[in-house]
Chains A and B, each alone.
Chain A
Amino acid sequence: MNTENVKPVDTLQNRQIRCLERLLNLNHELEELEDQKASNELPLWKVLIFDKPCSEIISTVLHVSDLRKHGVTVHMNIKANRQPISDVPAIYFVQPTRENVELIIRDLSNGLYESAYVCFSTTIPRALLEDFAEMAASSNTGHMINQVYDEYLNFVSLDSEFFSLQQPGVFSLIHSPSSTDGQIEETIQQVASGLFSVLVTLDVLPIIRCPPGSAAELLAKKLNQKLRDHAMNTKNVYAADSTKQRPVLILLDRTVDLVPMLNHSWTYQALVHDVLKMRLNRISVDVVNNGVESKMVYDLAPNDSFWEQNSNLPFPRVAESIDEELTRYKNDANEVTKKTGVSSIEDVNADTLVNSTYLKAAVSLLPELTARKQMLDMHMNIATALLKTIKDHQLDEFFEMESDVKNINKATVLACLKDKQKGTAEDKLRFLLIWYLNADNVPASDMEQFEEALKEAECSLEPLNFVKKIREITRMNMMASAANQPTSGQTGDNLFKGFTSLSNKLTDRFKEAGIGGLENLISGVKNLIPARRANTITSIVQSLTEPGSAIKQTEQYLYFDPKSRSGSSESLYTANKRQSFNEAIVFMIGGGNYLEYGSLTDWASEQNPKKRIVYGSTEVETSAEFLQELATIH
């Protein structure tokens, strides 16, 4: 078990969950509710109404049972045809748009609910608030509105310190030659609003660093101004005491390194995202149970202890962990059945037991064991599905090649592209793009051969055209970091043992299904632990948080301080650029992924003292989605 993965309680995700729970309790602190007087004055039961973006925010971190625990009986979309429940109030958690405001007024005029608590995901503009009040006054529904709040929650927490603004297409908009200045300005405004909410939720006022002359600089200026205004107007919102060290907010364009968006990975969370197309922590897996094929939908939300401990580990180690957990479960289950004297865990029934100790053991341990079994079943199914795809597409070989991409010559590349057995067209394109971005000199004739091979594999070349255009810029930005030697922590035998025993377990279960043993599936899979190589992004973060290891590139970065008295929103050239930071918030404009998050988390935990890194992006895309976006840029 990885004890070093114990996370502090105050992560971004936990903070957001607390804010959401307070929202569900009508914006009262949960401690206040303990007072009996307060509980008699507040409605116990309410209805939750949301729009699509806000439903994504909630559903990523809360289950329906969590909603019910806080008294929410039903939850519905604001645009749905809704029937009245006139005795209870409604909590509206929506974006501040004219359409939503009109729908709220319509609901209240029609007496759908007893009253309304209106919580906007971000600041409602003054003009719209005035219109809202005017509509309420003219429809005589003002008295039915109990609260109007700006919640600053318009972002999704995918993991404890990993967020997404759910704003698609930002990369293509910024880099498309046909985009107008107005469009880019508006997009950056929206990004600034989302990022501002993250900072308010974290309750920090960071120093901002960004590379000059890019979308990052535009964003930095906007954000600096926003933070400055907010700090001046609402002094009590920032509870942060001045003695606490401020973090650094690092804003980067995606063009700084395109490779992580295209890499084939070997960590559990990156594989689940790439192969099973995880979206907002939800995946859909094909499962074969007793010969019956079905589609299972799983939520990898918080409170999955196995996911928490294993999500950033290499896949072979995850297979071992599943093995260990299964053994542990079997032992615990046997102990309970021994204590209670029944033959199997399923037969434990409160009526059959007399002795109170045994009864107590059954009642308190049984639900926990059942929950553990369900969780393990889910991860087994996920691992099986991943194994199958890895084998079918030989993803392990792609990973191996990409780890050592600088040492691959043109002949190997061509052979791979022409090999009909290897991977899909998309896998080949990804590999070629990574090689192309890393290679020093690629003569046009070679490129033609590659393109021919890709065309034969029925691959669209649009993304390649775009990459050709920005290749030079990207290569300048990419750190020339040599690939480290693979870590020699474990021998091949140990790893294969994990695979073999996993396959045995899975084989036993699926024997009847006639899949014929999974040994065949995994025997060809190589056992590798990914080489810990220095990503571009890790080098940049290291350079900015530890001035001792500064690289030349980041010395050009701009410096903004929303707290400075100079009152200007321009970069401060005289600022102390040699300060070190223990906390950093890294934001990528144009797309993020689990690979970067994983490598930043690993780097942060290896530092002494441990650093804390929050990572986020405008959206979290799979490589397939990113390639599609690249193809749209003309």
Chain B
Amino acid sequence: MTDRTLDFFRLIEKDSNVKLAELSLRRPKTKDFDDSFLNEARIIYNSIYKLQVFLSRIRHAYLKSIHVRNYSALTKPLMECSREELDKLELSDVQRDEIDQEASTIINICVSRIKALEQAEENTKTELGEKHWYEGLKNPEKRARKELLLAHHSGVLWFLQNSLSKVSETLFTLQETRFEQAKTSSLLNNNWQNRSYSPPPRVQLSQSDFSQNLSQTQIQELEDENELLLQEFEDTMQRVQYTSRSLNEIIRLQAEISKQLSLQAAQTDKLYEDAMITSDTISSGNTQLKQARSRNSRAAKGLFIVFLILSFLLVAFDRIL
């Protein structure tokens, strides 16, 4: 492709007083729309986009297999950190859970805000449907405009739901990976736990043989280690259970969003068809009007005179009879 924009602007500059610099700097409108629907939609999209960016940046830290026990207080909210800052983080399980919760909350808020917009559109559509027959006759262009706007808004809603579906999928993948990691490490711990119970008999044997060699402190240390391993194993199991619950939550959310998406697609298709049919009807209506006007007016005049004569005859006969 070849960019002819500068060429074009230079030609305009020659033909008018508009400066090339002014034309080049102009930016299309991306916010503060006249249409409040679009403003709300843009706000929703910004939240979705921010979440998508955040999830991609936090992925490295989130999936690190280091599980910090006590977390250090962060200097600023996670969502405002850069990729480099987030990469360096070491997160605790509590922090990970908080991230899951907050992301789910944001998605839920978006879902409800989109539903609110859908409801508003539904109301407008019903109003339009009720006003149908006489409004259509009075001002067909106005009706066509409203229908097109409905189709346009429906397309915007589909776009939002599609973006939301993508971000919920990202969150799902993240949580699923964490879940798999937790499951694997719990299995490993399980095996290790099993194995760590088999040495004790040997230890006892060696204890009987070498009881003088193993001091009280060493036995205590081994028992402490076992305790620690048990504790870790329980922690991992808890982690697995919690992650599994939040996984269920995100899957349900995803299923709901997918359903909404396919419904919205069908809705948008229908609204688009309606809008096109109305505009086609108006076009053909206009054509008919033009044709009617250009039809030979003599024929119309002649018909009028005939009817006039006939009505006079009718009155005359009535008088006579």
Say if the beta carbon of B185 comes within 8 Å of chain A.
no
A74 at the interface (CB under 8 A from B): yes
Q: Which chain B residues lie closer than 8 Å to A41 at the CB level? A: 27, 30
A19 to B252 Cα, complex, angstroms: 37
Question: Please, which residues of chain B bring their CB within 8 A of the CB of A132?
Answer: 8
Q: Do the beta carbons of B15 and A148 come within 8 Å of each other?
A: no
**Interchain CB contact (< 8 A) of B152 among A73, A115, A133:** A73
Q: By the criterion CB–CB under 8 Å, are A74 and B1 in contact?
A: no
Determine if B145 and A129 form an interchain contact, defined as CB atoms under 8 angstroms apart: no
The answer to the question of A87 belonging to the interface, with a C-beta cut-off of 8 Å to chain B, is yes
User: Does A150 sit within 8 A of B, measured CB to CB?
Assistant: yes
Q: Residue among A89, A237, A350 with the most chain B CB within 10 A?
A: A350
Separation of A554 and B253 alpha carbons in the complex (Å): 65
CB within 8 Å for A87 and B16 given contacts A44-B159, A74-B151, A234-B2: no
Residue pair B34, A86 in contact (C-beta under 8 Å): yes
Q: Are A82 and B279 in contact (CB under 8 A)?
A: yes
Partner-binding segment picked from B207-215, B228-236, B264-272, B296-304 = B264-272
The answer to whether B275 touches A148, judged by C-beta atoms less than 8 angstroms apart, is no
- Tell whether A72 is near chain B: CB-to-CB under 8 Å: yes
Given that A124-B4, A137-B12 are contacting pairs, would A44 and B145 also be in contact in the complex, using a CB cutoff of 8 Å?
Answer: no
Chain B 251-262 interface 0/1 with A at a Cβ cutoff of 8 Å (1 = within): 110111010000
Q: Mark A281-325, 1 if CB is under 8 A from B, else 0.
A: 000000000000000000000000000000000000000000000
In the complex with contacts A45-B38, A129-B11, A130-B11, A115-B248 CB distance below 8 A: no
Q: How far is the CB of B75 from chain A (nearest CB, A)?
A: 21
CB distance from B171 to the nearest CB of A (A): 13
- Is A71 part of the binding interface, using a Cβ–Cβ cutoff of 8 Å? yes
Indicate whether A149 reaches chain B with its CB closer than 8 angstroms. yes
Interface flag for B127 (CB, 8 Å)? no
Given contacts A69-B162, A129-B11, contact A148 B1 (CB under 8 A): no
CA–CA, A134 and B16, complex, Å = 8
CA–CA, A45 to B39, complex, Å? 12
Interface pair B1/A73, CB less than 8 Å apart = no
For residue A362, which residue of chain B has the nearest CB? B255
Q: B5 near A: Cβ within 8 Å?
A: yes
Asked whether A87 and B29 contact (CB < 8 A) given A69-B162, A81-B282, the answer is yes
**For residue A69, which residues in chain B have a CB less than 8 angstroms away from its CB?**
159, 162
The answer to whether B29 and A134 touch across the interface, beta carbons within 8 angstroms, is: no
Contact A359 B248 (CB under 8 A): yes
Digit string of A134-168 for contact with B (CB within 8 Å is 1, else 0)? 10111010110111111110000000000000000
Question: How does the 8 Å CB contact mask read for B2-18 relative to A, with 1 for contact and 0 for none?
Answer: 11110111011011101
Q: How far is the CB of B149 from chain A (nearest CB, A)?
A: 7
CB neighbours of B86 from chain A (8 A): none
Which residues of A have CB within 8 Å of B162?
Answer: 68-69
Contact B28 A151 (CB under 8 A): no
Complex Cα spacing A318 to B46, Å: 48
Q: Known contacts being A133-B12, A143-B18, is A150 close to B4, with CB within 8 Å?
A: yes
State the Cβ distance, B241 to closest chain A Cβ, in Å.
11
Q: Are B247 and A356 in contact (CB under 8 A)?
A: yes
In the bound complex, CA of A194 to CA of B14 (Å): 32
User: Would B275 and A74 count as touching, CB distance under 8 A?
Assistant: yes
| B154 → A minimal CB distance (Å) | 8
The CA of A527 and the CA of B144, in the complex, are separated in Å by: 56
A359 in complex: contacting residue of B149, B251, B268, CB < 8 Å: B251
Within 8 A of B (CB), among A5-45: 19, 22-23, 27, 36, 39-45
Are B12 and A81 interface neighbours, CB within 8 A?
Answer: no
CA gap between A223 and B176 in the complex, in Å: 56
- Given contacts A44-B42, A71-B159, A143-B26, whether A350 and B34 have CB atoms under 8 Å apart is no
Contact of B29 with A114 in the complex, beta carbons under 8 Å: yes
Bound complex: CA A474 to CA B272 (Å) = 51
In the assembled complex, the CB of A194 is this many whole angstroms from the nearest CB of chain B, namely 16
Choose one: B4, B148, B176, B247; the contact of A83 (CB below 8 Å).
Answer: B148
Give the complex CA separation of A124 and B286 in angstroms: 33
Q: How far is the CB of A282 from chain B (nearest CB, A)?
A: 17
Contact with B along A358-372 (1 / 0, CB 8 A): 011001000100000
Contacts A143-B18, A143-B23, A151-B1; is A85 near B29 (CB within 8 Å)? no
- Chain B residues contacting A87 (CB-CB under 8 Å) are 29, 33-35, 38
Verify if B156 is at the interface (C-beta below 8 Å from A).
Answer: yes
Q: Is A239 at the interface (CB under 8 A from chain B)?
A: no
A149 touches B4 (CB 8 A): yes
Whether B33 pairs with A83 at a CB distance below 8 angstroms is: no
What residue in chain A is nearest B16 (Cβ atoms)?
A: A137
- Indicate if the CB atoms of B30 and A27 lie closer than 8 Å: no
Cβ-based interface call for B53 (8 A): yes
* Cβ distance B160 to chain A, nearest Cβ, rounded Å: 9
Are B155 and A123 closer than 8 Å at their CB atoms? no
B283 within 8 A of A: yes
Chain B residue at minimal CB-CB distance from A367: B258
Contacts of B275 in A (CB 8 A): 74
Q: Is B22 an interface residue (CB 8 A)?
A: yes
Q: Are B3 and A64 in contact (CB under 8 A)?
A: no
Across the interface, which residues of B come within 8 angstroms of A65, CB to CB?
Answer: 265
Q: How far is the CB of A66 from chain B (nearest CB, A)?
A: 11
> What are the residues of chain A within 8 A of B154 when measuring CB–CB?
73
Inter-chain CA distance A389–B176, complex, in Å, is 52
User: Which B residues are CB-close (under 8 A) to A234?
Assistant: 2
The closest CB in chain A to the CB of B286 belongs to A81
- CA A84 to CA B23, docked complex, whole Å: 23
Question: Is B71 close to A, CB under 8 A?
Answer: no
Residues of B within 8 A of A147 (CB): 3, 5
Taking the closest CB of chain B, its distance from the CB of A364, in whole angstroms, is 9
The distance in angstroms between the C-alpha atoms of A88 and B153, with both chains bound, is: 11
The answer to the question of A250 belonging to the interface, with a C-beta cut-off of 8 Å to chain B, is no
* Residue in chain B with minimal CB distance to A132: B8
Q: How far is the CA of A151 from the CA of B248 in the complex (A)?
A: 47
Please tell me if A80 contacts chain B, counting CB pairs below 8 Å. yes
Asked whether, in the complex, the Cβ of B33 is within 8 Å of the Cβ of A27, the reply is no
Q: Considering only CB atoms, which chain B residue lies closest to A134 in the complex?
A: B15
* Beta-carbon nearest neighbor of A200 in chain B: B1
Chain A residues lying within 8 Å of B102, measured Cβ to Cβ, are none
Q: Which chain A residue shows the least CB distance to B49?
A: A39
8 Å CB interface, B19-76 against A: 22-23, 26-30, 33-35, 38, 41-42, 45-46, 49, 53
**A142 cross-chain contacts in B, Cβ below 8 A:** 9, 12, 16, 18, 23
CB of B141 closer than 8 Å to a CB of A:
yes
Contact B8 A133 (CB under 8 A): yes
CA–CA, A237 and B1, complex, Å: 8
Rounded to whole angstroms, the CA-CA distance of A342 and B264 in the bound complex is 28
Q: Does A74 contact B3, Cβ atoms closer than 8 Å?
A: no
Give Cα A143 to B9, complex, Å: 9
Q: How far is the CA of A84 from the CA of B258 in the complex (A)?
A: 31
Asked if B244 lies at the interface with its beta carbon under 8 angstroms from chain A, I say yes
Residues of B within 8 A of A148 (CB): 3-5, 7-8
Q: Which residues of A contact B254 (CB under 8 A)?
A: 363
A45 touches B1 (CB 8 A): no
Question: Please, which residue of chain A has its CB at the minimum distance from the CB of B6?
Answer: A148
Query: Given the complex, which residues of A lie within 8 Å of B282, measured CB to CB?
Result: 81
CB atoms of A45 and B155 under 8 A apart: yes
Are B16 and A84 within 8 A (Cβ)? no
Q: Considering the chains assembled together, what is the distance between the CA atoms of A88 and B34 in angstroms?
A: 10
List 27 A–B pairs whose Cβ atoms lie within 8 Å, in order of A's numbering.
A40-B30, A44-B30, A44-B159, A45-B38, A68-B162, A68-B268, A73-B154, A74-B151, A80-B276, A80-B279, A82-B148, A83-B144, A83-B149, A85-B149, A87-B33, A87-B38, A129-B7, A132-B8, A133-B14, A146-B5, A149-B3, A149-B5, A150-B1, A350-B251, A356-B247, A359-B251, A367-B258
- Listed in ascending order, the chain B residues whose CB lies under 8 Å from chain A are 1-5, 7-9, 11-12, 14-16, 18, 22-23, 26-30, 33-35, 38, 41-42, 45-46, 49, 53, 141, 144-145, 148-149, 151-156, 158-159, 162, 176, 244, 247-248, 251-252, 254-256, 258, 265, 268-269, 272, 275-276, 279-280, 282-283, 286
